[in-house]
Amino acid sequence: MAPALAPPPADGNPPEVSAALTTTTVQVTSGFRGARIVLYGAVFDPRDRPSDVVVIVRGPDQPIRIARKTRVGGLWINSRPVVFQGAPGFYMAASSRPLDQIAGFGVLRRLGAGIDHLAMNAPAEQRVETRYGVRDMVVSRLGADYLDWRRAVVRLKQRAHLYDADDHGVTFVDKGLFKSEIDLPTEAPIGQYRAEIILFQDGQPVSRRVRDLTVEKVGLERALYLFAHHWPWTYGFVSVGVALAAGWGASAAFRRR
């Protein structure tokens, strides 16, 4: 979704933002314990108007299954799980000021900037019906609890360091020069990430850059993962074979003593 940028001012060059990542490929090896990627960039504005920078990093989309514990006959039991679609497996929003001071609600919502503006919903829980004479209204079976569920998704993801919002995550280190840090936890999903760098002036996005980031398994990790998923039965036989041989080997080794 290409956000609508404000038209360039009539006079002179339009303001622009430029940015780069220190690493564009994160390799998940056996020693992987998360990664920190530095994003740095510059704002070019001949007229030096006050600028704000927002960095949004999205990982690959992952459906989220979430359940709520409810009390049934004295036991705490999981409810039927609710599936949220369209939520990224990793999300970070960093900005030079609190987002609500940078731009208005509508602008942020359109850009999907900020955790509150993430477009995720639970399609299986929705149905379209006519209410109060209005046709095609989307009604969620979760009803008024919908926000509780949504907030719970965000809270749990934040606890796992998979979602992050930092109001001061973009810092200007020099005039027009800024940097930000992306912290990937060990649990970060494998796949294509997209970092979007947006320059705001007067509450409107005026320039935008997109940078790609790849998180991939390499070496033995990748080989084993592919093996397990492409040839699951062979993998099963091999892993059990290794286990049985190890058991037999240990027994033989101990007998000799």
Partner 1 sequence: MFDLYLPIAEISVNAPLLVALGAAVGFISGLFGIGGGFLMTPILLLIGIPAPVAVASLSSHVAASSTSSVISYSRARAVDFRMGGVLASGGAVGSFAGVEVFRWLRLLGQADLAVSLCYLVFLGIIGGLMLVESLGAILRQRSGKGAPPRRDKRPPWLYGLPLKMRFPRSRLYISIIPPLALGVFVGMLSAIMGVGGGFILVPAMVYILRMPAGVVVGTSLFQIIITTTLTSVLQAGRNQTVDIVLATLLLIGGVIGAQAGAKASSRFRAEELRAILALIVLAVGIRMGIGLFLAPEEPFLLMAGAG
Binding interface with partner 1 (CB under 8 A): 28-34, 62-71, 74-81, 83, 149, 152-153, 155-157, 160, 186-187, 190, 217, 220-222, 224-225, 228-229, 232-233, 235-240, 242-244, 246-252, 254-255
Residue 78 or 101: the one with the smaller Cβ distance to partner 1 is 78
CB of 69 to partner 1, least distance (A): 5
Residue 100 or 148: the one with the smaller Cβ distance to partner 1 is 148
Take residue 114 and report the two structure tokens written for it: 């900020």
Contact status, residue 68 vs residue 77, Cβ threshold 8 Å: no
Residue 20 or 66: the one with the smaller Cβ distance to partner 1 is 66
Residue 96 or 121: the one with the smaller Cβ distance to partner 1 is 121
CB of 217 to partner 1, least distance (A): 7
CB of 140 to partner 1, least distance (A): 16
Take residue 189 and report the two structure tokens written for it: 């999903």
Residue 78 or 130: the one with the smaller Cβ distance to partner 1 is 78
Take residue 187 and report the two structure tokens written for it: 């649990």
CA distances from residue 63 to 66, 88, 155 in whole angstroms, order as listed: 10, 8, 16
Q: Convert 185-223 to b/e letters by CB count within 10 Å (16 or more is b).
A: eeebebbebebbbbbbbeeebbbbbebebebebeeebee
**Cα–Cα distance, 167 to 1 (Å, whole number):** 24
CB of 192 to partner 1, least distance (A): 17
- Sorted by sequence, the CB contacts under 8 Å of residue 14 that are 6+ apart come out as 8, 206, 207
CB of 76 to partner 1, least distance (A): 6
